[in-house]
C-alpha cells in the first residue's frame, strides 16, 4: 500500500446527529498526525461531481453541537454503476486523495466496500445511523439522540392519550430493525413495541390485545417500527378499527423529527472517539473496516461482517417489556 498523505471525508445516506462531531474528530486527528484532509460534499455524488475542498482545523470549528452534517449528504444512483465509480476514482486521484473516511449507514458502507474492492482504496467507515442496525458495534452515531427525541415526544403524547383514554400507535424509524421502537418503549413506559424481528414469528397485535393489555389501564401507547413487516402504525390502526372496534385508536408518525436536533453527550463522545480511531486505523495499516464500539472499547469490524450480518435484537429486553406492560 502506498504511503497515505491525504485523506478524504464524506457523509452519505441519511443524516444522523453526531456526524459533525465525527467530521471534526477525523479532520483534527488527521491534521495532528500529519495528513492533509479534503472534505467531500454531498457524499458519493460530490466525489463524482468534484465538490471537494481543503479542510483545515477552522473548517470544523463550532460544529460539534449541531445536528445534520456540514458536508451535506445525497443519494447517488450514478455511483451504483461501474462508470460512476470509475469517474469517482479519477476525481479522487486528481485531488491526490489516498484514503477515504466514509461516515454513514449500511448503504454507505456497502458502497465503500465495493469501491475499495474495485480500486484498492483504503477506506475506514464510521457507523452513523439512528437505526443502530450495523453488526459489530453496540451503538451507532445518532442512535442515542434519536432515542431521546422519541422519549421526549412520547412523554407528551401520553398526556393526551391519558386524557382521552385512547390507544396510540406511535411510528418510529427502523425499516429492518426494531432497536428504536423497543428501547423507546422501555424508556417511555409504553405498553408494547411492534418490531420486524418479532413480527415474522408471531402476530404481535393479536397477541397484545388478546393478552388483555388494558386490563389495568385507561390508555395505552404502542411503539411501532416503520417496517412493512409490521404493517406500520397506519396499517395496525386500520386492523384495530376492523378487528377490535371497541378501541379508540390514534396514530402519530414521528418521521424525520427523529433525525434532527443537537446530539446528546453520548453521541458526541462516541462520534469523537470513533473519528479519532479511524485515523489510528489508517496509521496501523487497517483498511476496509468499520470502527465499532463493543463493551465501551473501540474495535475494527470488517465491512463484510458489518454489512452482511444482521444485528440481533436483545430478547431479554423484549421479555422485560412484556412483563412490565401489565
First to last CA, the chain: 60
Q: Answer yes or no: 131 catalytic.
A: yes
The cell 465538490 sits on which residue? 51
* DSSP string covering 215-282: TT-S-EEEEEE--TTTTHHHHHHHHHHHH-TTS-EEEEE-GGGGG-SPPPHHHHHHHHHHHHHHHHHH
DSSP 141: B
Pairing of strands 6-11, 123-127: unpaired
Checking phi first, is residue 128 left (phi over 0); if not, alpha (psi -120 to 50) or beta? beta
Closest by CA position to 232, among listed 156, 312, 178: 178
In whole angstroms, give the CA distance from residue 304 to residue 326: 42
Contact 313, 195 (CB under 8 A): yes
Phi, psi of 125 (to 5 degrees): -105, 145
The active-site residue out of 15, 98, 106, 131 is: 131
Contact 19, 271 (CB under 8 A): yes
Contact 38, 97 (CB under 8 A): yes
Pairing of strands 289-294, 297-302: antiparallel
Contact 277, 127 (CB under 8 A): no
In whole angstroms, give the CA distance from residue 140 to residue 137: 7
3-state secondary structure (DSSP) of residue 189: coil
Residues labelled catalytic: 131
Amino acid at each position: 500500500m502506498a504511503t497515505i498523505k491525504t485523506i478524504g471525508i464524506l457523509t452519505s445516506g441519511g443524516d444522523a446527529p453526531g456526524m459533525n462531531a465525527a467530521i471534526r474528530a477525523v479532520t483534527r486527528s488527521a491534521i495532528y498526525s500529519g495528513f492533509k484532509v479534503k472534505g467531500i460534499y454531498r457524499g458519493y455524488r460530490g466525489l463524482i461531481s468534484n465538490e471537494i475542498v481543503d479542510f483545515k482545523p477552522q473548517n470544523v470549528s463550532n460544529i460539534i453541537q449541531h445536528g445534520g452534517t456540514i458536508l451535506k449528504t445525497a443519494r447517488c444512483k450514478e455511483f451504483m454503476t461501474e462508470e460512476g465509480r470509475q469517474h469517482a476514482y479519477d476525481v479522487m486521484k486528481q485531488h491526490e486523495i489516498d484514503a477515504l473516511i466514509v461516515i454513514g449507514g449500511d448503504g454507505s458502507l456497502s458502497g465503500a466496500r465495493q469501491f475499495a474492492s474495485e480500486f484498492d482504496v483504503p477506506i475506514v467507515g464510521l457507523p452513523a445511523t439512528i437505526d443502530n442496525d450495523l453488526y459489530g458495534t453496540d451503538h451507532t452515531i445518532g442512535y442515542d439522540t434519536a432515542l431521546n427525541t422519541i422519549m421526549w415526544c412520547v412523554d407528551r403524547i401520553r398526556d393526551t392519550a391519558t386524557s382521552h383514554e385512547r390507544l396510540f400507535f406511535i411510528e418510529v424509524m427502523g425499516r429492518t430493525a426494531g432497536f428504536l421502537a423497543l428501547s423507546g418503549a422501555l424508556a417511555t413506559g409504553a405498553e408494547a413495541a411492534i418490531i420486524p424481528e418479532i413480527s415474522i414469528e408471531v402476530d404481535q397485535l393479536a397477541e397484545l390485545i388478546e393478552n388483555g393489555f388494558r386490563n389495568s389501564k385507561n390508555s395505552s401507547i404502542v411503539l411501532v417500527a416503520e417496517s412493512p413487516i409490521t404493517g406500520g402504525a397506519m396499517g395496525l390502526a386500520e386492523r384495530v378499527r376492523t378487528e377490535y372496534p371497541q378501541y379508540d385508536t390514534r396514530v402519530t408518525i414521528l418521521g424525520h423529527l427523529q433525525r434532527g436536533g443537537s446530539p446528546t453527550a453520548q453521541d458526541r463522545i462516541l462520534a469523537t472517539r470513533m473519528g479519532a480511531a479511524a485515523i489510528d486505523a489508517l496509521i496501523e495499516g487497517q483498511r476496509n473496516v468499520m470502527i465499532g464500539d463493543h463493551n465501551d472499547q473501540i474495535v475494527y469490524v470488517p465491512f463484510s461482517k458489518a454489512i452482511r450480518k444482521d444485528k440481533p435484537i436483545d430478547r431479554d429486553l423484549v421479555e422485560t417489556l412484556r412483563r412490565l406492560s401489565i
